[in-house]
Amino acid sequence: MAMTHAGGSQPARLDVMLAIVDFPMLSAAFRDVIDRERDMAVVAEATSREAIVAQAKSSGPAVIILEYEAFASAGCGTPEALDEVRCAAPAAKIIALDCRCATDEFSVALKAGAAGVLTREALADDVVSAVRAVAAGHTYVSPAIVTRMVDTYVRGKPRAADDPYDQLTNRERQILLLAAMGHTNRDIARSLQLSEQTVHSNRANLMEKLGLHDRVELLRYTVKRGLLNPSVL
């Protein structure tokens, strides 16, 4: 089973498989982070590309962290390989580990069937937040990627005079994108290493500045402004 109970009143355990073949030290670090959580455990760790599909089938994980490179010509990082793993373990949620730390690849990974995207520079809290988020049915995108999106696609675009978006701080812009992607205040707080109260205050401020009232309006706003591609949500 992907989520198991230890007995009694113990919470369900999240079983995780690691498929980070080309970066063994990173795989070891991820294992350490995950195994330190009381409700998580690494139940399989692929050491070769050929073993990934078979291990995904046999270990029955709730979450698979798979190294990924959208434009690779071969190997476990291709969109085709991601889809093969997804078909082998349809109940598992896949987190694509971006091998090139490239902003433009996260949407390709989501279209290929990943439920979340992490970068190799992810902090321990990012890894844990990503596992919890995708296991709960949410889409997760690393805050590092969101920051690059703000830098690359937002700051570089000319804005109309008196644009309410220009009133947002960089932190509020990060929270805006993460909230639009479905992250809860708790998820965002963990990812950005802030308190939940700080996230709540920033979120309330940005909603007021933009004249928004709920997440549906927030999501429509980010799509309309070209901050998010609706095809990857």
Low-confidence ranges of the chain (pLDDT < 70): 1-11, 69-77, 99-106, 148-162, 228-233
What the block records as the tokens of 62 is: 């709730």
Separation CA 9–CA 111 (nearest Å): 38
Q: What per-residue confidence (pLDDT) applies to 111?
A: 78
d(CA 178, CA 184): 8
* Cα dist from 40 to 93, 136, 187, whole Å: 14, 13, 17
Positions of E strands within the chain? 3-5, 12-19, 40-45, 63-68, 93-98, 116-119, 140-141
Q: Please tell me the predicted confidence (pLDDT) of residue 74.
A: 52
pTM of structure: 0.63
Angle at 36 between CA 31 and CA 39, to 5 degrees: 100
> What is the rounded CA–CA span in Å between residue 173 and residue 146?
9
Give me the domains of the chain, ranges plus CATH numbers: 3-143 (3.40.50.2300), 158-226 (1.10.10.10)
Partners of 66 in the β-ladder: 19, 96
Q: For residue 154, what pLDDT is reported?
A: 54
Give the model's pLDDT for residue 47. Answer: 86
Separation between Cα atoms, residue 230 and residue 54, nearest integer Å:
33
State whether residue 29 is helix, strand or coil: helix
Residue 232, pLDDT score: 47
- Report the C-alpha gap between 178 and 185 in whole angstroms: 9
pLDDT of residue 165: 85
Give the bridge partners for 41, in sequence order: 15
Q: How far apart are the C-alpha atoms of 208 and 107, rounded to whole Å? A: 29
Given this model, what pLDDT does residue 148 score? 67
Measured between alpha carbons, how far is 176 from 152 in angstroms, rounded to an integer?
Answer: 16
Q: Which of 132, 4, 139 is nearest to 61 (CA)?
A: 4
Q: Give the number of other CB atoms < 10 A from CB of residue 184.
A: 17
Residue 212 CA to its chain's centroid (Å): 25
Q: How far apart are CA 165 and CA 99, in angstroms?
A: 32
Q: Which two tokens stand for residue 67?
A: 């190294």
Q: What pLDDT does residue 1 have?
A: 42
Task: Give the C-alpha separation, 230 to 233, whole Å.
Answer: 5
